[in-house]
Chains A and B, each alone.
Chain A
Amino acid sequence: MIEVSKKCIGCNKCVPVCPFAAINMVDKKAVMNEACTLCGVCVQVCPVQAITITREEASARDLSGYKGVWVYVELTETGDQPQARKIKQVTFELLGAGRKLADELGEDLCAVLLTDKNHNYDKELGAYGADKVYMVEHDELFEYNTDIFSTVIVSLVTRHTPSVMLYGATIQGRDLAPRVASTLYVGLTADCTALAIKDGLLLQSRPAFGGNIMADILAPKSRPQMSTVRPNVMKMNEPVHGRTALVVRESAKLDKSLRRVKVLERRISHDGGGVKIENAHIIVSGGRGMKSREKFRQLEELSKLLGGVVGASRAAVDLGFKEKAHQVGQSGTTVSPKLYLSFGISGAVQHIVGMKASDVIIAVNKDASAPIFNVAKYGIVGDAHEIVPKLIEALKK
């Protein structure tokens, strides 16, 4: 329920920012009409705190009308040319996981796409399993912005009442999802590694305490049940070309004034064509123990011989051995290649959480008690500087 108190001074600030044109000024007082979705933008701009939103108490909510498994579509820059964007792989993984949930619930799997221009994205989303694509095309959606994107998502959710909504546990997903959950007063579980249906509810499994324990989480009282899901964990389905999704176009009235945080400069390290450590099958990674940028170059040669890419620990990046785009770990990229071959990485917790899902880990380190050996399948206690050149030599033969 939304109320405007006597404090309202009729300043008119809320009228232009309402995405749904749901506010009128009547006798110098704001009055909401039925287009209101309780998105809360007006509450944020009101200079005198005259607008309050009271959400129904959880137990009083009727949840039976909430249907549909939604997946937030994350777009990422292709790196080839400015402004060109493509669908991030985690979206397809979410469609794979969401397909199973939707089938078990007997509900539709829907992708939610916010973009300035549709480049056949809907076709791809259909091929990967979406039944429906809710699409909002608007110039203001040319780049991700927390205020703008959360406003649109909140309005779509309020209008179409899904039962489940999934986001990638990426930098963007972990910025957007909590903002939406907070606005809607619904449950959100971070960084899930498994999803299932238990008695009609979404059972969300996630690691906590740096991976030392696992927790299963439910959100029984509110809808949608929302999760961010760790990339590279869920299996994506093989795309079925020609399988199409029903496109539902949605409008949103968006204004520049909603954009409270402005981007002054954006730097993406492309590294000559773009490193993609997150999708690599083989990663050869180095840490502080590689000692110098020059020695680190040997790992590049080695990774090329193996058909892989180079990764780096945070320490190696901070010391300038390798660019940030190669960083594996909590503040870098989470990876799960088939082979992770590490040299001179001791294995700080922040690094381990970013690579321990790899199929086979071979770790080389001088110190036999290095924590990286706790997650490795094979551990070699030895000097990387002696081993790497010999390995390159042998592989060249």
Chain B
Amino acid sequence: MNIVVCVKQVPDSTEVKINPETGHLIRAGVPSIINPYDHFALQAALELKKKHDFKVTLVSMGPPQAKSVVQLGMALGADEGILLSDMAFAGSDTWSTSYALARAIRKLGKIDLVLAGMQAIDGDTAQTGPGVAQQLGMPQVTFCEHVDVDGRRIIARKLIDGGYEIVEARPPVLLTMIMHKDYVPRYPSFLAVNASLKKPFHVWSAADIGAEPQFLGLKGSPTQVDKIYPPPQREKAAMFTGSGQEGMAKILQIMKAEHFIEE
């Protein structure tokens, strides 16, 4: 089987702040990481590779420096890496991004399984995975915890309201993965990083994947950002220190003041 894993480079979201005066993102000094959900999807693919000797190809879209997340994936064991990088992709929303990723995956030939993180931690949309599946005409299974392959059956455990389902699909199929303890993210050794530099890595432009310009970037994106701004600030917590009797008394006092319990 041939597996594709979609990976994205994202800023470490817990550290992104906004300049309250200009309304612009402060991205300087914010480290870039592999989207954590994609890291789990990658580990899932590598587990399958270990068990069944499948081929794993990484596909990412982003600026040239996004190569580092593809390189990380190859150092961890993926066989090949593709980075879609072209000014024509700039400003793409989830529709246009899905379109470009789907074009690239189609170019790779016969693919049986596409894995992606459930969402990226910068946009938090969870829309690109299903978009890619639709554009490729594949069925989708979203919010998966675990995936197994049994012959030509792909079996996944997915979240649903208040529980989970075990589902089955025939390839090709696209799965989006949540973070689950079955796939603990690993980091490669220096030796593995060095060795991965010899693996095939390609940068593809919009023309390389045969993407039509009117579907790309701002022009091709149905949604537009009207404005970004800081969220309303919460007041700082009123802090108290005290365990046992003291802590208990404080909580009772707060709950009375907030009318959760009667005086």
Contacts and interface: CB of A to CB of B under 8 A. Distances in A.
Nearest to A268: B163
Nearest to A260: B139
A265 interface: yes
B68 interface: no
A349 B222 contact: no
Nearest to B118: A331
B224 interface: yes
Contacts of A219: 222-224
Contact of A210 (B121, B128, B166, B169): B121
Interface in A264-293: 264-270, 274, 282
Given A212-B18, A373-B237, A378-B237, A58 B222 contact: yes
Interface in B235-263: 235, 237-248, 250-252, 254-255, 258, 260-261
A266 B228 contact: no
Interface in B170-224: 170, 173, 178-179, 181, 214, 221-224
Interface in A57-108: 57-58, 76-77, 79, 88
Interface string A349-383: 11000000000101110001000011111111111
Given A207-B231, A212-B13, A213-B228, A263 B130 contact: no
A174 to B, nearest CB: 5
Interface string A150-176: 100000000000000000001110110
A263 B98 CA distance: 26
A185 B224 CA distance: 14
A271 B84 CA distance: 47
Interface residues of B, number: 82
A84 to B, nearest CB: 14
Contacts of A212: 13-14, 16-18, 231
A178 B131 contact: yes
Given A179-B130, A379-B237, A214 B247 contact: no
Interface string B124-152: 11111111011101011111000000000
Given A260-B139, A318-B181, A380 B127 contact: no
B95 interface: yes
A270 B162 CA distance: 8
Nearest to A350: B179
A324 B240 contact: no
Nearest to B154: A261
A374 B229 contact: no
Contact of B247 (A190, A387, A395): A387
Nearest to A265: B166
Interface string A181-200: 11101111111000000100
Contacts of B169: 260-262
B137 A210 contact: no
Q: Binding site of B, secondary structure by majority: helix, strand, loop or mixed?
A: mixed
Contacts of A3: none
B226 A217 contact: yes
Nearest to B129: A178
B122 interface: yes
B227 A380 contact: no
Given A187-B222, A210-B124, A380 B258 contact: no
B247 A264 contact: no
A171 B160 contact: yes
A185 B168 contact: no
Contacts of B240: 378-381
Q: Binding site of A, secondary structure by majority: helix, strand, loop or mixed?
A: mixed
Contacts of B38: none
Contacts of B94: 178, 188, 190
A214 B228 CA distance: 6
Contacts of B137: 40, 43-44
Contact of B95 (A181, A217, A324): A181
Contacts of A147: 139
Contact of B251 (A57, A77, A391): A391
Interface residues of A, number: 93
A211 interface: yes
User: Which of B162, B163, B226 counts the most chain A CB atoms within 10 A?
Assistant: B162
B162 A381 contact: no
Contact of A213 (B25, B130, B161, B247): B25
A208 B142 contact: no
Interface string A211-237: 111111111111000000000000000
Contacts of B17: 212
Nearest to A274: B162
Given A213-B230, A215-B227, A186 B222 contact: yes
Contact of A362 (B166, B214, B226, B254): B254
B165 interface: yes
A308 to B, nearest CB: 9
B80 interface: no
Contact of A263 (B18, B95, B166): B166
B180 to A, nearest CB: 8
Contacts of B228: 208, 213-216
A219 B218 CA distance: 12
B159 interface: yes
B141 to A, nearest CB: 6
B127 A181 contact: yes
A213 to B, nearest CB: 5
A395 to B, nearest CB: 7
Interface of B: 11, 13-14, 16-18, 25, 93-95, 98, 121-131, 133-135, 137, 139-143, 155, 159-170, 173, 178-179, 181, 214, 221-231, 234-235, 237-248, 250-252, 254-255, 258, 260-261
Given A146-B140, A179-B131, A266-B160, 5 more contacts: A216-B229, A339-B260, A350-B179, A387-B251, A394-B252
6 nearest CB pairs, A to B = A187-B222, A182-B134, A268-B163, A190-B125, A178-B130, A382-B243
16 contacts: A174-B126, A175-B143, A178-B134, A181-B127, A190-B123, A208-B122, A211-B231, A219-B222, A263-B166, A266-B163, A266-B165, A373-B237, A380-B240, A382-B241, A387-B247, A390-B244
